[in-house]
Amino acid sequence: MPDLQNLVFIIVKFLIPFLVGSLIFFSIIVAPTTFVNLDQKNARIFIRNIFPKIYLWAHILSLIVGLLIIFYELILGLIVLLVSSGFLFSRQYLVKWINAVSDIKVKNKKQKKKFEFLHTFSVLIFISQIICLSVIYFYV
């Protein structure tokens, strides 16, 4: 029977690829398929509903992973908790900011740049979170 530390690492070794795989699946399959197969109005509705759920899902799973790791590998646990807070930040603030700029019917140059910046920022956060989780997987 595995001791508590081994059990924690078994759970973490399952949850990290489960989370990373779901994030990659969403990015590569779900989001692009949405824009290809739905008209703009319905794609917009779907994406606006699914993104907060994806971020909440990722926040909860990474929070669990961070809390499990932190007692055995402090630095790795803190990094995962930082990743988790990034998902929460994206859900609570970044998505709303992007949607607010996106809702403007006729955008001037400044608003278009703001949208591009916010969207690029969200993508960079998302990619860096996937990379951090993937690297941590190999350290645990």
For 57-102, write each residue's pLDDT tens digit. 999 999 999 999 999 999 999 999 999 999 999 999 999 999 999 8
CA 113 to chain centre: 23
For 22-49, write each residue's pLDDT tens digit. 999 999 999 999 999 999 999 999 999 9
Instruction: Please enumerate in sequence order all residues whose Cβ is within 8 A of that of 18, keeping only pairs 6 or more positions apart, or say none.
Output: 61
Q: pTM of the entire structure?
A: 0.91
What b/e sequence results for 100-126 when a residue is b if at least 16 CB atoms lie within 10 Å of its CB, and e otherwise?
ebeeeeeeeeeeeebbeebeeebeebb
Return d(Cα 113, Cα 24) in angstroms, integer.
27
Domain ranges of the chain: 4-139
C-alpha torsion 103→60→67→127, nearest 10 = -50
Angle at 17 between CA 19 and CA 118, to 5 degrees: 45
Alpha helices by DSSP H, listed for the chain, are 4-25, 31-37, 40-70, 74-89, 95-102, 109-139
Judge whether 111 and 104 are in contact, CB under 8 Å. Answer: yes
**pLDDT band with cut points at 50, 70 and 90 for residue 1:** low
